């Protein structure tokens, strides 16, 4: 048996997230049960201790988010997982992690809403919440897997981005991907690219926890490692202490945004499929992109020149890529399980060069290939 | 002891932001003196706080310090302590922070009996936001959001902590600063969740509105209304009316959360290793 065969497994999307997180070096998880994310908690409760890692079921989602920030400051790669309503509760502390530049990963297995909605039904209604859920101007990285395999690889990627850019990263998956089972090939651990946070050298005369390196990201010491320092959610200067100085505030908030926006080439991931000659582009992400692929195959047989653009990184939004495609496509179709959240972004990026049409469904059911095909035929 | 204590302060950050007459400085003084008595290792101690006037104290303490979000300090601290159980972790909170927005975290930290030392600056009011009523505001006391006096019964913080499972519960006041120092020291020495309530004065947002005079008058009020716990135990509820007990109110030995979890991890890893050897995996 070769290595690859040994590591091919049948698993659920949520299970693949657990495997990906462990492979990326996860050592701390805090969470609160909510469908359809609960398997992640349950599996980690059993698995983390085997790695010397720690699991805790906190009293709510706010506490879970707080605990992973604490654990990350203490030096452990940290994760929490939730769904819609729980994601809303985490927002305040996601903002804290963003402001205090604490790496951590938040999984949101999207479910129907608003509010308790249809708890076990899929939706993609948290696209804007992943971008603007917490208050203030903050950067956001959100990744959207479309398969179990990607649930694995993007979890690793999420940790890598979190560590590299000292920021919370959101894995924005959905109930369909979270619960479906597929064949997954787990890479050999030594073949995996795992990034760890940049640490300051020991023995500095003074450590500035918020003095950025050339990449805009400050080196991060663990609590009680080599240095004593202060961490706050208030606007702070490079030493980490609070200030209300307007210039410092302006510079800090801009730097937080720029450390992400200046690195789009590194962060923005996408898939283009059959787009070369396409004059109709379907823009779809997560579970819906699978329906889109099926629809595209059938439409191609019927003679339509149609292709798929799939944002994998949905935040920052792949604007440049959409702009390029909008020069060749007369129409872009955006099927989503919401009333048109990403469609707004597509419209913005296409700037009137393509017509942008939504295919939207909010009844807790996956959009079918037939529904997308209908939209293609109508063009 | 003086030199011993100064090293715990980030003196370049002083003077502090608190109002004249505010008791927070006395609590901070008691904390630093307790650090001195504990011979606290600054490189293996983390101090966490929430949001409020009192929670600004972390900025003045020379440790790894974490100023978190309103009410969540204990949850952040739980993550730190679980990640690195060898660290000593202190958590400084206001009364509103710990029992209002953070009430749930407070009772669950107590329930777990996690080895944190929680020091609660109880000034009976939301100070930082300008004097709104808190879950610890005495019944009928005035607050900006209770212009005719509060209608709600307050928590008894110590009873709440004890009922929820804290294994060290003490109450001191800023009038009895030396006692407060001792209580904090003993709380820190205790293994498990320790709660030290520090009754303090906010002359600006509470005292003025409740006609309690200035900071000095409020200190005298603490002296007159507190009863050492040994004595309090002998008094009838009627005799204790309007008064509160100070000292070590409760102390118990119980398994500590991170200890239990560390043992669990070790056993699980050992078992896994054995199974691997036997080829079960
Ligand atoms: C989520 C949230 N809600 C409300 C506030 C506003 N806020 C800041 S401090 C504070 C009250 C602090 O009172 P307390 O904890 O008693 O501390 P004190 O200022 O009296 O020391 C409030 C309500 C906030 N910062 N965050
Ligand atoms: S408002 Fe009250 S608690 Fe806050 S600093 Fe002033 S006196 Fe102290």
Q: Class assignment of domain A270-378?
A: alpha beta
Does ligand 2 lie within 6 Å of residue B222's CB atom?
no
Give chain A positions within 8 Å (CB) of B75: 58-59, 62-64, 66-67, 70
* Residue pair A173/A124 in contact by the 8 Å Cβ criterion: no
CB contact under 8 A, A69 and B76: yes
The model's pLDDT over A368-378, given as tens digits with 9 standing for 90+, comes to: 999 999 999 99
CB contact under 8 A, B82 and A67: yes
Check pLDDT > 90 for residue B4: no
Which atom of ligand 1 is found nearest the CA of B95? 16
The model's pLDDT over A144-175, given as tens digits with 9 standing for 90+, comes to: 999 999 999 999 999 999 999 999 999 999 99
The Cα-based distances of B209 to A137, A300, B54, B141 in angstroms read 38, 76, 19, 9
Closest among B267, B254, B266, B268 to B85, alpha carbons compared: B266
Does ligand 1 lie within 6 Å of residue B52's CB atom?
yes
| Strand order through the sheet with A104-110 | A54-57, A26-31, A77-82, A104-110, A168-174, A142-143, A313-315
> Within a 10 A sphere around the Cβ of A109, how many other Cβ atoms?
32
CB contact under 8 A, A228 and B268: no
The model's pLDDT over A295-315, given as tens digits with 9 standing for 90+, comes to: 999 999 999 999 999 999 999
Q: How many whole angstroms separate alpha carbon A314 and alpha carbon A174?
A: 14
Chain B: nearest CA to A159, how far in angstroms?
A: 18
The verdict on A73 touching B (C-beta cutoff 8 Å) is yes
Indicate the pairing of strand A54-57 with strand A26-31: parallel
Q: What angle do CA B231, B232, B235 make, to 5 degrees?
A: 95
Chain A: nearest CA to B97, how far in angstroms?
A: 14
Q: Which of A15-29, A186-200, A254-268, B194-208 has the lowest mean pLDDT?
A: A186-200
Does ligand 2 lie within 6 Å of residue B53's CB atom?
yes
Give chain A positions within 8 Å (CB) of B67: 230-234, 242
Check pLDDT > 60 for residue B3: no
Long-range contacts of B130-135 (CB under 8 A, 24+ apart): B130/B205, B131/B202, B131/B204, B131/B205, B131/B206, B131/B209, B132/B96, B134/B94, B134/B95, B134/B96, B134/B99, B134/B100, B135/B95, B135/B96, B135/B99, B135/B100, B135/B103
The fourth-level CATH superfamily of domain A2-191 is: Thiamin diphosphate (ThDP)-binding fold, Pyr/PP domains (3.40.50.970)
Structural domains in chain B (count): 1
3-state secondary structure of B48: strand
Does ligand 2 lie within 6 Å of residue B22's CB atom?
yes
Percent of chain B past pLDDT 90, that is, above it, reads 96
The Cα-based distances of B273 to A7, B5, B121, B266, B277 in angstroms read 20, 47, 48, 11, 6
B-interface mutation test, from A26, A63, A225, most B Cβ less than 10 A away: A63
**Mean predicted lDDT score pLDDT of chain B:** 96
- Rounded distance from Cα B178 to ligand 2 centre (Å): 22
What's the token pair of residue A317? 């939004």
Q: How many whole angstroms separate alpha carbon A178 and alpha carbon A110?
A: 9
Q: How many whole angstroms separate alpha carbon A92 and alpha carbon A144?
A: 22
Give chain B positions within 8 Å (CB) of A92: 69
Does ligand 1 lie within 6 Å of residue B56's CB atom?
no
Chain B: nearest CA to A104, how far in angstroms?
A: 12
Check pLDDT > 90 for residue B280: no
Q: Is residue B232 part of a domain?
A: yes
Q: Is the dihedral of CA B16, B19, B25, B27 positive or negative?
A: negative
Give chain B positions within 8 Å (CB) of A75: 83-84
The predicted model gives B266-275 an average pLDDT of 93
The verdict on A232 touching B (C-beta cutoff 8 Å) is yes
pLDDT band at A7 (very low <50, low <70, confident <90, very high): confident
Residue nearest ligand 1's atom 4 by CA: B70
Q: Is residue B201 part of a domain?
A: yes
Identify which ligand lies nearest to the alpha carbon of B92. 1
* Residue pair A41/A13 in contact by the 8 Å Cβ criterion: no
Chain B: nearest CA to A216, how far in angstroms?
A: 22
Give chain A positions within 8 Å (CB) of B78: 30, 56, 58, 63, 66-67, 70
Q: How many whole angstroms separate alpha carbon A281 and alpha carbon A295?
A: 12
Does ligand 2 lie within 6 Å of residue B16's CB atom?
no
The verdict on B6 touching A (C-beta cutoff 8 Å) is no
The model's pLDDT over A44-80, given as tens digits with 9 standing for 90+, comes to: 999 999 999 999 999 999 999 999 999 999 999 999 9
* Residue pair A201/A225 in contact by the 8 Å Cβ criterion: no
A-interface mutation test, from B48, B58, B75, most A Cβ less than 10 A away: B75
The model's pLDDT over B209-228, given as tens digits with 9 standing for 90+, comes to: 999 999 999 999 999 999 99
Residue nearest ligand 2's atom 5 by CA: B18
Check pLDDT > 60 for residue A364: yes
Domain parsing of chain A, residue ranges: 2-191, 270-378
Give chain A positions within 8 Å (CB) of B276: none
Closest among A223, A122, A266 to B86, alpha carbons compared: A223
Residue nearest ligand 1's atom 25 by CA: B70
The verdict on B241 touching A (C-beta cutoff 8 Å) is no
| pLDDT for the residue numbered A91 | 98
The model's pLDDT over B247-260, given as tens digits with 9 standing for 90+, comes to: 999 999 999 999 99
- Rounded distance from Cα A282 to ligand 2 centre (Å): 58
Q: What angle do CA A199, A200, A201 make, to 5 degrees?
A: 115
* Number of helices and strands in chain B (H, E): 11, 10
* Residue pair B8/B61 in contact by the 8 Å Cβ criterion: yes
CATH label of the domain that carries residue B42: 3.40.50.970
Kindly state the DSSP code that residue B91 receives in the 8-state scheme.
E
Q: Is residue B114 part of a domain?
A: yes
pLDDT band at A1 (very low <50, low <70, confident <90, very high): very low
Q: Is the dihedral of CA A226, A230, A236, A239 positive or negative?
A: negative
Percent of chain A past pLDDT 90, that is, above it, reads 97
User: pTM above the 0.95 mark?
Assistant: yes
Cα dihedral value B272, B273, B279, B281, nearest 10? 30
Q: How many whole angstroms separate alpha carbon A67 and alpha carbon A331?
A: 46
Closest among A188, A161, A151 to A260, alpha carbons compared: A161
Which atom of ligand 2 is found nearest the CA of B121? 3
3-state secondary structure of A251: helix
What's the token pair of residue B49? 């706080």
The model's pLDDT over A99-132, given as tens digits with 9 standing for 90+, comes to: 999 999 999 999 999 999 999 999 999 999 999 9
Q: How many whole angstroms separate alpha carbon B69 and alpha carbon B235?
A: 41
| pLDDT for the residue numbered A190 | 86
Helix axes A341-350, A319-326, angle to 10 degrees: 60
What's the token pair of residue A339? 């009333």
Check pLDDT > 90 for residue B2: no
- Rounded distance from Cα A198 to ligand 1 centre (Å): 34
Which atom of ligand 2 is found nearest the CA of B200? 3
Does ligand 2 lie within 6 Å of residue B202's CB atom?
yes
Domain assignment of residue B140, given as a range = 2-253
The Cα-based distances of B176 to A59, A134, B132, B161, B228 in angstroms read 35, 43, 26, 22, 11
Does ligand 1 lie within 6 Å of residue B100's CB atom?
no
Give chain A positions within 8 Å (CB) of B65: 228-231
The predicted model gives B140-165 an average pLDDT of 98
| pLDDT for the residue numbered B278 | 87
* Residue pair A40/A20 in contact by the 8 Å Cβ criterion: no
pLDDT band at A189 (very low <50, low <70, confident <90, very high): confident
Which atom of ligand 2 is found nearest the CA of B17? 5
Chain A: nearest CA to B43, how far in angstroms?
A: 5
**Mean predicted lDDT score pLDDT of chain A:** 97
Residue nearest ligand 2's atom 2 by CA: B202
Percent of chain A past pLDDT 70, that is, above it, reads 98
């Amino acid at each position: 048996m070769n290595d690859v065969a040994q590591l091919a497994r049948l698993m659920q999307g949520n299970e693949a997230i657990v495997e990906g997180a462990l492979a990326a070096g996860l050592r701390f998880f805090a969470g609160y049960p909510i469908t359809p994310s609960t398997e992640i908690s349950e599996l980690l409760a059993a698995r983390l201790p085997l790695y010397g890692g720690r699991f805790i079921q906190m009293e709510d989602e706010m506490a879970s988010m707080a605990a992973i920030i604490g654990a990350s400051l203490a030096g452990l790669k940290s994760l929490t997982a939730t769904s819609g309503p729980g994601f809303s509760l985490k927002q305040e502390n996601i903002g804290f992690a963003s402001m205090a530049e604490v790496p951590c990963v938040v999984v949101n297995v999207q479910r129907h809403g608003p509010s308790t909605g249809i708890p076990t039904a899929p939706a993609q209604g948290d696209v804007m919440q992943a971008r603007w859920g917490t208050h203030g101007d903050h950067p956001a990285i959100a990744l959207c897997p479309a398969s179990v395999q990607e649930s694995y690889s993007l979890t690793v990627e999420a940790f890598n981005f979190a560590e590299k850019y000292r920021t919370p990263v959101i894995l924005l998956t959905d109930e369909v991907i979270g619960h479906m089972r597929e064949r997954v090939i787990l890479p050999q651990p030594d073949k995996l690219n795992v990034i760890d946070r940049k640490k300051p050298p020991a023995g500095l005369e003074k450590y500035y926890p918020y003095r950025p390196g050339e990449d805009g990201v400050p080196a991060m010491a663990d609590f009680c490692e080599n240095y004593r320092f202060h961490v706050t959610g208030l606007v702070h200067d490079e030493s980490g202490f609070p200030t209300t100085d307007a210039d410092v505030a302006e510079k800090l908030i801009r730097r937080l945004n720029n450390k992400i926006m200046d690195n789009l080439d590194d962060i923005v991931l996408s898939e283009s499929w059959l787009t070369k000659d396409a004059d109709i582009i379907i823009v779809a992400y997560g579970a819906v992109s699978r329906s889109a692929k099926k629809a595209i195959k059938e439409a191609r047989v019927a003679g339509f020149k149609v292709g798929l653009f799939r944002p994998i990184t949905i935040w920052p939004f792949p604007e440049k890529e959409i702009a390029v495609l909008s020069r060749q496509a007369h129409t872009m179709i955006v099927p989503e399980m919401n009333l048109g959240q990403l469609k707004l972004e597509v419209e913005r990026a296409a700037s009137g060069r393509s017509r942008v049409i939504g295919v939207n469904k909010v009844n807790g059911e996956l959009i079918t290939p037939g529904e997308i095909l209908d939209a293609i035929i109508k063009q | 002891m003086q030199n011993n204590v100064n090293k715990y302060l980030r003196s370049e950050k002083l003077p502090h932001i608190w109002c004249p007459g505010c008791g927070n400085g006395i609590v901070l003084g008691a904390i630093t003196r307790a650090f001195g008595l504990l011979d606290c290792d600054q490189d293996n101690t983390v101090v966490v706080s929430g949001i409020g006037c009192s929670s600004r104290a972390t900025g003045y303490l020379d440790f790894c310090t974490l100023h978190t979000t309103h009410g969540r300090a204990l949850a952040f601290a739980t993550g730190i302590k679980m990640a690195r159980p060898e660290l000593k972790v202190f958590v400084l909170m206001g009364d509103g922070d710990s029992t209002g927005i953070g009430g749930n975290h407070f009772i669950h930290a107590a329930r777990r009996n996690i080895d944190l030392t929680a020091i609660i600056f109880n000034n009976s009011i939301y100070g930082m936001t300008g004097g709104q009523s808190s879950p610890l505001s005495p019944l009928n006391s005035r607050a900006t959001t209770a212009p005719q006096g509060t209608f709600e019964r307050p928590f008894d913080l110590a009873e709440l902590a004890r009922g929820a499972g804290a294994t060290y519960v003490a109450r001191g006041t800023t009038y009895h600063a030396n006692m407060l120092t001792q209580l904090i020291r003993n709380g820190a020495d205790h293994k498990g969740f320790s709660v030290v309530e520090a009754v303090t004065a906010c002359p600006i947002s509470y005292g003025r509105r409740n006609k309690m005079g200035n900071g000095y008058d409020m200190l005298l009020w603490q002296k007159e209304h507190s009863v050492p716990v040994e004595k309090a135990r002998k008094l009838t509820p009627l005799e204790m009316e309007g008064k509160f007990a100070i000292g070590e109110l409760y102390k118990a030995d119980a398994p500590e959360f991170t200890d239990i979890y560390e043992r669990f991890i070790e056993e699980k890893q050992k078992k896994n290793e054995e199974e691997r050897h036997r080829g079960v995996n």
